[in-house]
Amino acid sequence: MKDIATANDGKFTDIATTAKGEPRATVALTNPETLWFNTGTLCNIECTNCYILSSPKNDALVYITADEVREYLDQLEERNWNVNEIAFTGGEPFMNPQMIDMTEAALERGYEVLILTNAMMPMMRKKSREGLLRLQAAYPDKITLRISVDHYSKELHDEERGKGAFDKTVTGMKWLSENGFTMAVAGRSVFGDSDADSRAGYATFFAENDFRIDAYNPAMTVLFPEMDETVEVPEITTACWGILDKSPDAVMCSSSRMVVKRRGAEKPAVLACTLLAYSPDFELGETLEEAERDVALNHPHCAKFCVLGGASCSG
C-alpha cells in the first residue's frame, strides 16, 4: 500500500504553494459557528479505523478541564465570535471526569451543546446519567448527543468496534430516548453501501427501536467517508474555487475551530480542523485571537473531503 508521501508524489509539503508551483488555496474564518473541544483521546474501546487513534491507552491528547473550557468561552465573548454551538469530541468524552461540568459551563452561557459519544459504559455510569438528566431538566432541548453507530447491522458495527459493542450502544441510545434527549447518529461509509442503501438501513434501525432520528437528514444521520491519507488526491489551488464554483465559506475551517490539550503541554492549543489533530500545520496558536488567521489547505483531507467531494478541478 502506498504511504501518504508516495501516493501524492511530493504534494502537500509547502504551505504556500502546490507541487506544481501554483498558489495554494486558503480559507478565512468568516463565520465562526462552532467551537469544538477535544476532551482527550482516551476511549473505552479501540476501533479498527479510528481517525484520531483513540484507545484505552492513547493519551496523546490529555483531558481538558472545565476551567480551561471556561477560559475559551471567555475568549469567545472577548473576540465577539458569532458562535452558537459548543461541541465536544474525543476519544470518548464521558471518559473525562469533568464532562458534565464542561457541558454545564457551555449551557449556562447560552450555547447549544453537541456531544459525540459511543453511548456505552462511560456515558451510562451513574454520575454521567445523573448529570445529563439534571442538565436536560435545566436546559431542555439544548443538548444533542451524536452517537457513533458505524453500521446499522450488529455484525458490521462490531467488526469495527469489537464484539458486543452494538448492543451496549443500543442500550445507551434507548436510555437517552426514554429520557427525551435529542439524538443524532454518526455512521461510516467504509462498508461499500451506497448512500441511499445506508440511509434506508439506518431508517429501519431507528424505526425498530423507536428512535426519533431522521435517517434522511444529513445533519441527523452523518455518514463519514473513509479517512485514508494514502489515497492520491489533487491539491487545491486558488483557481479551484472558480473552476468548482465553490466558495471557501463552505469549507469547515471557515466556521469552526477545535481546542485540544497535548500531553506535556502547559496550555491547550487551537486547531483549524477537527480531523487533523496531529498535523502541526493546522495548529494555530494558544488563543482564539491567534486562531483567526487563514488556513492553508495543505493536507489530502482538505481536498478529498472538504473541497472536492468527488469533483475535479483539473480545469
Average pLDDT over residues 73-91: 97
Least confident of 3-17, 90-104, 115-129, 247-261: 3-17
Element (H or E) spanning 147, and its range? strand 143-148
Average pLDDT over residues 61-69: 98
pTM strictly above 0.85: yes
- Among candidate residues 91, 47, 27, the one with its CA nearest the CA of residue 296: 27
Give me the residue spans of the domains in the chain: 31-232+249-297
Give yes or no for a contact between 304 and 273, defined as CB atoms under 8 angstroms apart.
Answer: no
161: number of Cβ within 10 Å: 24
Give yes or no for a contact between 268 and 194, defined as CB atoms under 8 angstroms apart.
Answer: no
The pLDDT tens digits of the residues spanning 17-53 come to 999 999 999 999 999 999 999 999 999 999 888 888 8
- Among candidate residues 307, 205, 202, 289, the one with its CA nearest the CA of residue 253: 307
- Among candidate residues 232, 231, 211, the one with its CA nearest the CA of residue 221: 211
Averaged confidence pLDDT in the chain = 92
DSSP state of 133: H
The pLDDT tens digits of the residues spanning 157-216 come to 999 999 999 999 999 999 999 999 999 999 987 778 899 999 999 999 999 999 999 999
- Among candidate residues 69, 121, 66, the one with its CA nearest the CA of residue 98: 66
Angle at alpha carbon of residue 54, lines to 52 and 57, rounded to 5°: 140
- pLDDT at site 306: 83
Question: Does the structure show a pLDDT above 50 at 314?
Answer: no
- Among candidate residues 169, 157, 193, 66, the one with its CA nearest the CA of residue 121: 169
Write down the number of H helices and E strands in the chain: 10, 11
- Classify domain 31-232+249-297 by CATH architecture: Alpha-Beta Barrel (3.20)
- pLDDT at site 304: 81
